[in-house]
Amino acid sequence: MNSPRTTLYRDKHNGKLMGVCAGIADYTGVDVFWIRLIAIGSLFVTSGSSIFAYFIAGFLLNKKPPYLYRDESEKKYWQGVRQSPRRTAREIKASFRDIDRRLAAVEAHYVSSNPRLTAEIERLR
């Protein structure tokens, strides 16, 4: 089951006609101006048949929920997840490794200066 944050929606709030281009822009993280420019360019390339795809997408896509993201940083995070899930997973794994390394340093500092605590930790292992 897909998360609501990884689904393509039409963004009626930021859209001009049906919100398809704004939804694609939100989904990909590309500026909506460039998506609209590509859509207009595709009208000429496909002799106008892409307008049917636009309206089909407009009718099939759900409206974007109003409170999908808490803030702009969460929006950027989910755009990164949609663009490259593996890179996002690597970044999260790296941040957890960094947290683990820092926690180990704190633990080593307190354990090395407190022999009673060292013995207690060793007893728990």
Q: Do the beta carbons of residue 26 and residue 9 sit within 8 Å?
A: yes
Domain boundaries, the chain: 1-83, 85-125
Q: What is the pTM of this model?
A: 0.58
pLDDT average per 10 residues of sequence, the chain (125 residues):
68 79 83 88 85 86 76 76 78 90 84 75 82
The pLDDT value given to residue 2: 62
Residue 42, classified by CB atoms within 10 Å of its CB into exposed (0-12), middle (13-18) or buried (19+), is middle
The pLDDT value given to residue 99: 93
